[in-house]
Amino acid sequence: MKLLLISALLSFTLAFTASCANKPDRDTTLGHQPLSLSEAFSSHFAIGSAINTQQANGLDAQSVAILNLHFNSLTPENDMKWERIQPQENVFTFEASDTLAAYAKKSQKDLIGHALVWHQQTPSWVFEDASGELVGRERLLARMKTHIFAIAGRYKNQIKGWDVVNEAFNEDGSLRESKWYQIIGKDYIEKAFEYAHQAAPKAKLYYNDYNLFKAAKMDGVIAMVKRLQAKGIRIDGIGEQAHYGIEPPIEELDISIQKVADTGLTMMITELDISVLKFPDEDNMGADISLSFALDKAYNPYKKGISASSQEKLANAYLSLFKLFLTHQQHIDRVTLWGVSDNDTWRNDWPMAGRSDYPLLFNRKYKAKSFVSDLIALAQQ
């Protein structure tokens, strides 16, 4: 009997130690907060992160620990873009996206697809024939359909929602003169949504763009939404990327979220990050990746670490934004950060390569910034 008791005690101790070992160590990332970000916001909206290849395949273990603990939704930063999925016509490479889908399934996180139709990161063959001439409308529509059916169809039972069309509008609300628009015409957006619906009927379908807090741009998008709705074409949500500076546009964003809500669609914040650095061209802030400036020391002041005053401004910016998101929680489905830590944010290289920026919630040592516990507290108020 005594032996039986000792052995039971021993197996309990071993099992307990093993289960603790599997749990991410909250103290290393969060001070004394008992809840993670996604747990704290669970009754409000999902908390997502962009995920890159090394995180999806587990090589970047420190980021994976943060993803496991704090985020319940994942968007591939690059691994589902056209150039990665179909670099040449009918040559599909699903290795990285399959690895990501497997990680999302295993860790029970929502998976968001990004992006089906975009003017960037789309190989030139898509728009050209064998002699390099632009193809006609029907051929481009056929290529669009093949691509959408291949990728959205492949993950139709797993992907919760797709960024179907990305960045189709100019700042004034007119349609961007992309090759999609030039060759197919204005209904290319409708076609993309129709094909996505056919390929993945259960997935939510989103339009995604930056600077949608700007009234003119959002009005262009809302007019497009109404056109689709009038034709009975399904569109479920609008994503504001939210690549902001240290003074986020709280009041304008407030109005723009309400505009989306008034159409009956849901709103998502899809790529949130807040740069603490001065932008070299204030009129063109946003996320146009074709913008590029030579590295200039004057624009890279925090090479060795962020100043206390900038860190405080960053904290205030995040807190004001999340306060706003909470006031609109009935309209907002998800808030996704565009990256895990300041180590691997695109902001370090845009619009000036080689800067040190600090736009995310986790620092270069993979620790939660001090204000993350304030965000968690805010969610519980």
Peptide bond into 34 cis (omega under 30): no
Identify residue 176 by its one-letter amino acid code.
R
Judged by beta carbon, residue 86 or residue 166, the one nearer ligand G3I is 166
Q: Please tell me which residue in 167, 190, 194, 240 is annotated as part of the active site.
A: 167
The answer to whether residue 7 forms part of the interface with ligand G3I (CB under 6 A) is: no
Tokens of 240: 């504001």
Query: What span, in angstroms and rounded, lies between the C-alpha atoms of 36 and 200?
Result: 32
Closest to ligand G3I by CB, 80 vs 376, is 80
57 is a contact residue toward ligand G3I (CB under 6 A):
no
**Secondary structure, 3-state, 276-309:** CCCCCCHHHCCCCCCCCECCCHHHCCCCCCCCHH
What one-character DSSP code corresponds to residue 132? S
Q: Does 289 bind ligand G3I (CB under 6 A)?
A: yes
Cβ nearer to ligand G3I, comparing 355 with 379: 355
**Residue from 190, 194, 240, 271 carrying the catalytic annotation:** 271
Question: Alpha-carbon distance 71 to 33, whole Å?
Answer: 15
Q: Is residue 287 at the binding interface for ligand G3I, with CB under 6 A as the rule?
A: yes
Under the criterion CB under 6 A, does residue 236 sit at the interface with ligand G3I? no
Q: Which of 346, 358, 366, 371 binds ligand G3I (CB under 6 A)?
A: 346
122 binds ligand G3I (CB under 6 A): no
Residue 138 annotated to the active site: no
CB 357 within 8 A of CB 299: no
Of 166 and 336, nearer to ligand G3I (C-beta) is 166
Determine the 3-state secondary structure of 331 from DSSP. Answer: coil
Is 167 an annotated catalytic residue?
Answer: yes
Question: Looking only at residues 266 through 285 of this chain, which bind ligand G3I when binding is defined by CB under 6 A?
Answer: 271
CA distances from 188 to 79, 127, 175, 317 (A): 23, 13, 11, 37
Q: Decide whether 33 or 180 has the Cβ nearer to ligand G3I.
A: 180
Candidate list 49, 241, 311, 336; residue touching ligand G3I; CB under 6 A = 241
Q: How far is CA 259 from CA 170, 209, 326, 331, in A?
A: 18, 15, 17, 10
Q: Does 121 bind ligand G3I (CB under 6 A)?
A: yes
Q: Does 77 bind ligand G3I (CB under 6 A)?
A: yes
Helices H / strands E in the chain, number of each: 14, 9
Q: How far is the CB of 81 from ligand G3I (least distance, A)?
A: 6
Give contact residues for ligand G3I (rule: CB under 6 A). 77-78, 81, 121, 166, 241, 271, 287, 289, 346
Catalytically annotated residues: 167, 271
